Amino acid sequence: MTCDRTFVTVTLLLATAAAAVTGDDEISPTTTVNQPGPASKVVKIVALFHENDDSVNQLAYNVSTRIVNIMDTVLPKNKIVQRSEYVVNDMYNVTRIVCESMKLGIAAFIGGTDDEEIENVIRSMSSRAQIPFIETHWKTSDRPPDEYAVNLYPDPSLLSKAIRDIILDMDWESFTVIYESPMSLIRLKDLLMHFDYGQRAPGKAIRIIQMSPVEDFRPMFKELKSFGEKHIILDYGIEHIVHILEQADEVHFMGDYQSFVITNLDAHTLTFEEFHKSMANITLIRLIDPESQHVRNAVDEIVFNEQKNGRISVLTPNTLKTKTALIYDAVNFFAASLHGLVATQTMGPTRISCDDIKPWVHGYSLINYMRVMELNGLTGKMRFDGVTGNRNYFKVDVVKVHESKKHRLGSWDPSEGMTLTRSVSEIYSEIAQSITNKTFVVVGKLVQPYLMKCNATEKGIDEDEECFEGFAYELVAEMAKYNGFKFKFTTNEDYGSQNLKTGKWNGMIGELQSMRADLAICDLTITFDRRTAVDFTTPFMTLGISILYAKPEKKKPQLFWFLNPLSFSVWMYTATAYLGVSLFLFMLARITPNEWHDPQPWKDGNNELETRLNVANLIWFSCGTMLQQGSDISPQAVSTRLVAGMWWFFALIMTSSYTANLTASITSGRLDTPIKNVDDLSKDSDIQYGCYEEGSTAAFFQKSNLSLYQRMWSVMESSNPTVFTKSNQEGVDRVLKGKGRYAFLMESSSIEYQTERNCNLMQIGNTLDSKGYGIAMPMNSPYRTLISESVLRLQESGFMRELKDKWWKGVNKCEEEEESEELGFTKIGGVFVVLVLGCLIAFVFSILEFLWNIRKVAIEEEITPKEALILEWKFAMKCDGGVKPLRRRHNTSTEYESNNSDTS
């Protein structure tokens, strides 16, 4: 549509423009011409500049033409006569100048203006006349391909892909685009399409802000800082960029976490001296390589030409603008194309009148030759699309500004994409050097043993300064010692939660997002939600969720504890088996003949047999076997031996089992807990359970897909009063006060710390998941790699293990779980009671036997029971003598004593 409107405008103005032409060789006052030598064939070209354009552009145009004419190898038989015209945004004036130029007979137009409307007029008329039009301005609107135009400026769609690839290479997942005019979005089209702006923008945090360069940018930068935004894409004119960055610096938005990508191809001409102390990452893109010898030679020629004319030029390779370089390249491009064409055919320009436009017969051949040309110019290698004439090959350098100096990071071209020229070691070395000058603000939560306040006087610290100690403090101190940075601790009592409406985080995560802190370290679990908001290092501690529970009170030892290894029924079955086997052996001994023997085999004619396997002996045999003491009585027959063998096997198993269970029962001290794992906990309605309401443990149950954990979360949510706590310590206190009625779900590392210091607490079951504690830092922090490597180094060196032992192991250790505990009388006193009772019973039986024997002695000796008692008692009280004589009724007491003495 733009071309159609332009063509109508041109048609209306042609007659007026033609009338303004006074003659074929007339030259306007604004025209400059280099006259060729007499032997050369003249080829005229016209460049149109806007009256407000930089004068260096025309100077480059003139110098480039002079150099082409000097170099006989380019156009040996042709000389270029250049014509410069200054135009304003007036269609009549533009049309008149174009008509005057065609009247002279020209071979090409060169567009030196950035005005789209002016170029549309030139393009329309040159297309009618079939005169090639070499453009140096990027297309800001979609239009049908013009078959007589070729554009040296990079194709906007490819330039958009270059910016997209650069952003992706920098791992930006969110950014804010700040631009000047809607045309700027053409350069960012592919980037925004890649991130699906407008669809997934809220999740990606892609913002687009249009602001006039004259507006105050400081409020906007403050707002972006509060949102935690760190990545900015600036698309502004070269004259506004430094001023915008100065405003960002005024509101402290130029720190080491902020990154700026400037899309203007002339940004390399700026100096960033005022930002030499800034740690912000500023990235530029450029078409011109100031280190190129071709660029240096061209700049020297331009400067020399100015000096020859008595003018001073401050142009340098670092300040050469893209427009100037493209105009310089346009002349060389035309000359190279013309050289190739005249080598195959004879050609010459034709004077064309706007009254009756007759196309130039060689224009079609020349434009087609241009579109297949390849040329290395000040803006690098150029290739063009054969249909559209757009430049489809170019290379842009990616440049980083560090301490006001520019360092080339890499390059991009349509065929290779992004190519980095700096090695990983160079980038790593630069970051390592920058970290030595930084003081990290470290935020932590006061929670034992990670971070605790200490006595400043004891530590030798100024009383005005806060004193900290703990696992996290010593870990950061060790990393600071190794990497050479300084640090300062602050506290925040919230880990951080996200407001679903605003998307903002509070707590320590919010501190990092707003860049008020550089590191966050405590028992901060790495979760998916937190990982989308901040970066984490390699985990410095691995753990999982487990159950903290109060140890049940130990049962008081019972007097007959030794009976516990076997149940009452087993004791009864064993006693029954004991008596049954004894009686069964007695029965078999009565039946089998092999258990009966002659008591006096030395006497002939003895007709009596006897056996030792009577009931009393067999009961004793079974008892000795059971107690593994043996007996002097042993079966002889096969049947009785078989029963005895089975009894021995039974006694072996029962005795071994009893001994093992007795050891476990007396010495293990195992506690009888009502729950063994999380499944038992979920089924026990008498025990409440909860967790810290804003921590990762609550998030685990809330977002779990397992039915068990979903059910537990529902129970916790519906409990009244609430089972959630404001802190882990509150949960620990609640477990202690609950005395078995409340269980607290907490990270295993924290449970380990609590159980080391409170012997009334215990961990139940294994961990429910696997996670890690990491050091958090702002997203895309340049120090993430260094800090992560420090964590790995400390883990491999064993420092992390020693540090954990130092802060986890309690000073007053709990008693070891009674595996090595000495046995007290309370546990085995029952055995002594049984022994004493057995002895007392045996003594009673001995007294009864003694009295029964006195009765027999009194009858046999025909003495009174009293005399018999005295005689037997005296013998019993004498400790010597192993033979007791038979008593006769004619013996007196005196003879009895005498004989007894002699026998002794």
Residues with Cβ within 8 Å of 261's Cβ and at least 6 positions away in sequence, in order, are: 163, 166, 167, 170, 231, 232, 233, 234, 283, 285
Contact 283, 400 (CB under 8 A): yes
What gap in Å lies between CA 330 and CA 133, rounded to an integer?
A: 10
Query: Does residue 55 sit in helix, strand or coil?
Result: helix
Please compute Rg for the chain using Cα positions. Answer: 53
Q: What is the DSSP string of 747-759?
A: EHHHHHHHHHH-T
What gap in Å lies between CA 902 and CA 101, rounded to an integer?
A: 167
SS (H, E, C) 370-402: HHCCCEEECCEEEEECCCCCCEEECCEEEEEEE
Identify the DSSP state of 815.
P
Contact 758, 811 (CB under 8 A): no
Contact 283, 233 (CB under 8 A): no
Contact 523, 748 (CB under 8 A): no
Range list of H helices, 704-783: 707-718, 728-738, 748-757
User: Is-cis flag, bond preceding 449, omega within 30?
Assistant: yes
Extract the tokens encoding 58: 């025309």
What gap in Å lies between CA 421 and CA 161, rounded to an integer?
A: 19
What gap in Å lies between CA 459 and CA 884, rounded to an integer?
A: 89
Q: Is 696 annotated as a binding residue?
A: yes
Identify the DSSP state of 267.
G
Q: Hey, how many other C-beta atoms are within 10 angstroms of the C-beta on 310?
A: 6
What gap in Å lies between CA 227 and CA 499, rounded to an integer?
A: 12
Query: Can you say whether residue 14 is alpha, beta or left, with left for phi > 0 and alpha for psi between -120 and 50 degrees?
Result: alpha
Output the CA torsion 423→427→432→436 (10° steps).
140
Q: Is 668 annotated as a binding residue?
A: no
Contact 232, 252 (CB under 8 A): no
For strand 175-179 and strand 206-210, is the pairing parallel, antiparallel, or unpaired? parallel
Residues with Cβ within 8 Å of 557's Cβ and at least 6 positions away in sequence, in order, are: 824, 826, 827
Q: Is 180 annotated as a binding residue?
A: no
| Residue 639: exposure state from Cβ atoms within 10 A (0-12, 13-18, ≥19) | middle
Output the CA torsion 372→373→374→380 (10° steps).
-110
Contact 395, 408 (CB under 8 A): no
Query: Does residue 61 sit in helix, strand or coil?
Result: helix
Strand partners, 76: none
Strand partners, 519: 442
Q: Is 516 annotated as a binding residue?
A: no
What gap in Å lies between CA 702 and CA 696, rounded to an integer?
A: 10
Chain-centroid distance, C-alpha 573: 63
Q: Is 904 annotated as a binding residue?
A: no
Between the CA of residue 900 and those of 285, 882, 889, what are the distances in Å? Answer: 129, 11, 16
Single-letter amino acid code for the residue at 411: S
Between the CA of residue 482 and those of 433, 702, 799, what are the distances in Å? Answer: 13, 40, 13
What gap in Å lies between CA 384 and CA 150, rounded to an integer?
A: 8
Residue numbers belonging to the annotated binding site: 525, 530, 696-697, 747
Residue numbers belonging to the annotated binding site for L-glutamate: 525, 530, 696-697, 747
